[in-house]
Structure 1
């Protein structure tokens, strides 16, 4: 186990980290080679994460966000933004506005919103979801998964064995699809009340497999849900968004994506979320209130954003980020990485068995507010 205090030299490895907040004006904000947290606030900002795994938020205004090296988490916020992941397995959320999201090398997860967006996965096995606008989606090289929602999207899957999911609601929407090279599969998802848009099936001739899910169902895709309350996923790959209020989300099996509320944006409230990811390699974002996050089995990405968060990694090599105020982490028995980069509140980290890495930011005395349990200290001495 390596306990890294950002800004110090530990085991001949230097790790720097910063928490940078803009002023609301147009600015250029640049991070370090460590795991940075940068929020541009208002204005036309240019944000660069440089090295390591960064959390980068443009917030309001038309921003440009560059992830750099590492597995970065980028959120454009409102405004017409450009998110460029560059190297690493990046996650990009466009937010409100006409956004452009470019993944670059790596297995990226890019998601637009209601407005027309441009998404390009680049190299790697990417997951691309344009949202409900009329989007331009290009998978690039690799075996990609593309979700086309209710808008008239233009899709170029690119080389590789790709999977394309189409939404038939409204049935008048017409999709333009070019599957590119590779053995691709197009799933035509039936709309509510069983309606199916036959025009969606008139795709380009280089789409090898076109399946009308009015009669069949993709065995890997689960449900997509947004709302409040309690929701159970399936044994497939589900996407559950709790939005506002108090929620209980159960992912069950499959590689799920779970949000506690409104995709971790907005003001903190009194809501309380329980998120049980279940088995599989899951991605979990806590809400802005109280969170209890259970990773379960699998190599998960778990982020607590709230005023009080309790995170249990469970089995698997997990990536855990402390991004809220008061957080308790029990990493679990395997080789986990914990990023304690919050700038407010306290955090307590327990490593459990396994060869774990804890990275602590020194931003405004943050290191003094993070308590690392004795099991982590023993691993360091060993």
Structure 2
């Protein structure tokens, strides 16, 4: 379930829900079930209810939220509010980043995590001179929260053996982290951490002044504290019968002395631990030092439409395309060409390298929009209006999963068969409001020696002719589509959404959580208005007989489409079409 941009109240009810509050000051309730709830921007109140819930106060930070020097933009800081997050019964995972948040686990063995939220610490030269030791450190917000941000979280475990985590994130200026962008667009933060040639090349962001309200460790409920981050450690600032203050700092030289780097011996924050007398610091506090970054990857260029009817093509790479108002056509990638494949029909590494990094985000906005994505794990949101949202084949040549003579009852839908190369190919489709069509186009492909027999005037490939080539064991096939998800399907009796699955010899069955076929799509008849989930397995039945023949790609597994629905979903909402659409137009 996805909220609008205003102040929303959403209840998940029975079942396992995904709730995204987006913008605004929202009230989000998971109720029963194992729920995943994201508050988004604003001052949110989130209650997971019963079940083992995962609760996130804010969206994940992206590179766009920081300026070129690594400082949080003021607009980012202002948009993230002070959240109240409550797990309820069950073993919950509760995480908060920006803002002065309250995290309450209540019953169960919970993991409660506070993430860096007080920006870049003041250069330690303002705190201690070169050669100073940890004994000289002054733990004052003027140093670990110099911008005075809302960054003082309250953590409450409740009953159960809880783990309180404090994750302090490494950051860097754009000139440093861009040197360590990997092929999939993520950043090698270990590489960033190794950059030590400049005075101000990387640092650990501060965590503010956080408070644990009810710690009960060794001899009590068995609570634990994990302090996590690059070069991070702590010292005891004060200790009484019921309260301990821990000062967190970054010891880049691992020697307890201030070196010449701008951020060696930075003070990062204070954790105040209110306890019941059961607190053995040596046993109950653990330090881990992985290189966790302030953001996971580079978003890529942002392309904005106009208030009119726009056609925008993102091209290769990782794009964010916002259509805004009007009836827009948004394409995440340029069409694939014959030269993107080798002679055996496999995508070339160079193609995968540029396009897998292109996990695009397409947002149609208002109007009746057309959104289409190819390679990459893309996110497409139609917005308001009656939108057409299309995911194309993007997981390469499938791998044979069953022997000759097997039937569809032997199929087990697993990514090792429909995405054997582990490509970025798991798209997320969100219709939002309106009567939307979710379209999945599975494309035919062939070896170079085969498709060149069917070149027409102008180099256009006759893919119908290619589809008729059956003399060779490995002459043509249908490319996989990955593991895609529709987030908000509302079919007959609801908003009138539709699903179209298109491709040469393509067939569809309902599958269970283990990937086994559990029924025909005609058996889908959900009209009760209760949110739920259906998984569809897509495969290629070249003989149209439900049996594996002698061809190399008969009964190939092509992918999974997970449909999260609003309780309005019947079999006739799905249409299967069988045209011979090629992976590229001309050679």
**TM-score of the superposed pair, with normalisation by structure 1:** 0.48
Larger radius of gyration: 2
Structure with more helix by fraction: 2
Structure with more strand by fraction: 1
